[in-house]
């Protein structure tokens, strides 16, 4: 833990700008909005987010970024199957993140959270089996706003970060 001139408000606004960015964590960190709050060169994410013993800073903040888009998209498909069928799955799956989020009832924020959390490669929830993971990755593959990201391949789940392992803070 270090001393820094950054205020809590600045870190909170930066965090929101990063995890809600449609181009993923790296895109979010490099975005104009995030850089205006905290100027970070590429690969310097650990200047703000600590790594843990098991995960890099990018992987950790990626949990929030994935939670922001993947569950609402999955829920929308289950809650509005007609919308998915009529225009065709392709049309439905290209809906913007903001459209996806606006279609979800406010109360439906947690009930499918576990089902929709994309695991890191080779790290399935204990006892869940590979079939569930494959289905989850299949759903993620239908999310175009995630498929072109640096650091994320929607067909394979999260790629491992190239950040060097270092001591957690």
Partner 1 sequence: MLENPSSYVTFQDSTMDEWEFVSRMAEEADCGLLLDVNNVYVSSFNHDMDPDKFIRSLPHERIVQFHLAGHSNYTTHLIDTHDNHVIDPVWELYRTAHELTGGVSTLLEWDANIPPFPVLHDEVLKAKRFMGEYLPALPAAPAVPEEAEPVLAMAGTPGMPGMTGERAPHPLHHILPEVE
Q: Which is nearer to partner 1, 87 or 111 (CB)?
A: 111
> Is position 55 an interface residue for partner 1 (rule: CB under 8 A)?
yes
What crossing angle do the helices spanning 8-19 and 57-79 adopt, rounded to 10°? 50
Q: How far is the CB of 167 from partner 1 (least distance, A)?
A: 11
Biggest CA–CA distance in the chain, Å, is: 55
> Is position 125 an interface residue for partner 1 (rule: CB under 8 A)?
yes
- Cα–Cα dist 119/42, whole Å: 24
Q: Which is nearer to partner 1, 19 or 154 (CB)?
A: 19
> Is position 41 an interface residue for partner 1 (rule: CB under 8 A)?
no
> Is position 4 an interface residue for partner 1 (rule: CB under 8 A)?
yes
HSE of 39, CA atoms in CB hemisphere, 13 A:
1
> Is position 46 an interface residue for partner 1 (rule: CB under 8 A)?
yes
Contacts of 150 (CB under 8 A, 6+ apart): 23, 24, 26, 27
Which residues are registered as beta bridge partners of 153?
157
> Is position 126 an interface residue for partner 1 (rule: CB under 8 A)?
yes
Q: How far is the CB of 76 from partner 1 (least distance, A)?
A: 17
> Is position 79 an interface residue for partner 1 (rule: CB under 8 A)?
no
Residue 168 CA: distances (Å) to CA of 1, 36, 56, 61, 164: 10, 27, 9, 14, 12
Q: Identify the residue whose tokens are 């888009």.
A: 69
Q: Out of 36, 41, 50, 165, name the contact with partner 1 by CB under 8 A.
A: 50
- Cα–Cα dist 8/33, whole Å: 16
> Is position 169 an interface residue for partner 1 (rule: CB under 8 A)?
yes
Q: How far is the CB of 96 from partner 1 (least distance, A)?
A: 26
Residues near partner 1 (CB under 8 A): 1-4, 6, 8, 11, 46-50, 52-55, 57, 59-61, 63-64, 110-115, 117, 119-120, 123-126, 128, 168-169
């Amino acid at each position: 833990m270090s001393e820094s001139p950054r205020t809590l408000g600045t870190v909170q606004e930066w965090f929101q700008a990063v995890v809600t960015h449609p181009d993923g964590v790296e895109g979010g960190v490099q975005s104009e909005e995030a850089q205006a709050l905290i100027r970070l060169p590429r690969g310097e994410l650990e200047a703000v987010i600590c790594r843990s013993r098991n995960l890099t800073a990018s992987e950790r903040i990626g949990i929030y970024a994935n939670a922001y888009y993947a569950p609402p998209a999955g829920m929308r498909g289950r809650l509005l199957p007609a919308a998915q069928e009529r225009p065709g799955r392709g049309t439905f799956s290209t809906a913007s993140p903001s459209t996806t989020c606006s279609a979800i009832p406010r109360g439906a924020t947690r009930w499918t959270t576990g089902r929709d959390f994309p695991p890191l490669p080779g790290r399935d929830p204990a006892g869940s089996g590979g079939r569930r993971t494959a289905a989850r990755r299949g759903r993620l593959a239908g999310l175009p706003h995630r498929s072109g990201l640096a650091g994320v391949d929607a067909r394979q789940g999260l790629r491992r970060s190239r950040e060097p392992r270092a001591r957690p803070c």
